[in-house]
Amino acid sequence: MRILGIDPGLRNMGWGVIDASGGRLSYVASGVCRSESGSLAERLLALHDGLVDVLARFGPDCAAVEEVFVNSDARGTLKLGQARGVALLVPAKAGLAVVEYAPNRVKKTVVGVGHAQKQQVAHMVRLQLPGALPESADAADALALAICHAHHAGSGTSLEAVMRRAIG
């Protein structure tokens, strides 16, 4: 299974692609889609086009996106939510299953601690994916999302799997 992890951001949207086969993970690629200037619409379009290109180049089977966190800056949270909409829309439009993970769950899965620092996450990503040298914390976080999904995809803990068991 080829997994695309996406760390949403309006200025820098991290992405990371890994292959998962059984318990074995391997690094494919990572990077950042950037939108540094222009109107909000132009910036969202740049992120969209960047992610469309990533999907075309690497052909992932599914995507994992970080859930949005709410902070005291309502405007910033709203803008992040709009960038996150692009991160959800692009893989969904391509027909991929899209799963969302809370930041603490990703950190707990990758580092073992739910409140790990960014440097710890990047270090553990490099340990778990030999050859991975993410260019930024955003790319490392995206790879961490992909790793998290690789560990939880078959666990039956997704909402869909839980609902199937509940309905019978």
What residues contact 118, with CB distance under 8 A and at least 6 apart?
A: 137, 140, 141
- The sheet that has 2-7: what strands, in order across it? 24-34, 12-21, 2-7, 62-66, 97-101
**Annotated catalytic residue: which of 19, 100, 138, 141?**
138
Q: Evaluate if residue 113 carries a pLDDT over 60.
A: yes
**Residue corresponding to tokens 């692609």:** 17
Segment 25-69, tens digit of pLDDT:
999 999 999 998 889 999 999 999 999 999 999 999 999 999 976
Q: Evaluate if residue 9 carries a pLDDT over 60.
A: yes
3-state secondary structure of 62: strand
The DSSP bridge partners found for residue 19 are 2, 26
Question: Domain total for the chain?
Answer: 1
* pLDDT score of 162: 37
**Annotated catalytic residue: which of 7, 19, 100, 141?**
7
- Is residue 106 within 8 A of residue 145, CB to CB? The reply is yes
* pLDDT score of 129: 95
Q: What is the dihedral of CA 82, 49, 97, 143, to 10 degrees?
A: -90
**Annotated catalytic residue: which of 19, 66, 100, 141?**
66
* pLDDT score of 35: 93
Segment 64-110, tens digit of pLDDT:
999 976 667 788 788 888 999 999 999 999 999 999 999 999 999 99
Residue 66: active-site member: yes
- Is residue 35 within 8 A of residue 42, CB to CB? The reply is yes
What residues contact 116, with CB distance under 8 A and at least 6 apart?
A: 107, 110, 124
Residue 138: active-site member: yes
- The model's confidence at residue 124, banded by pLDDT at 50, 70 and 90, is very high
Structure tokens at 54: 């990533």
- The model's confidence at residue 160, banded by pLDDT at 50, 70 and 90, is very low
Q: Which domain holds residue 106?
A: 2-167
Which CATH number covers residue 46? Answer: 3.30.420.10
* pLDDT score of 167: 55
Q: Evaluate if residue 164 carries a pLDDT over 70.
A: no
Structure tokens at 120: 């710890």
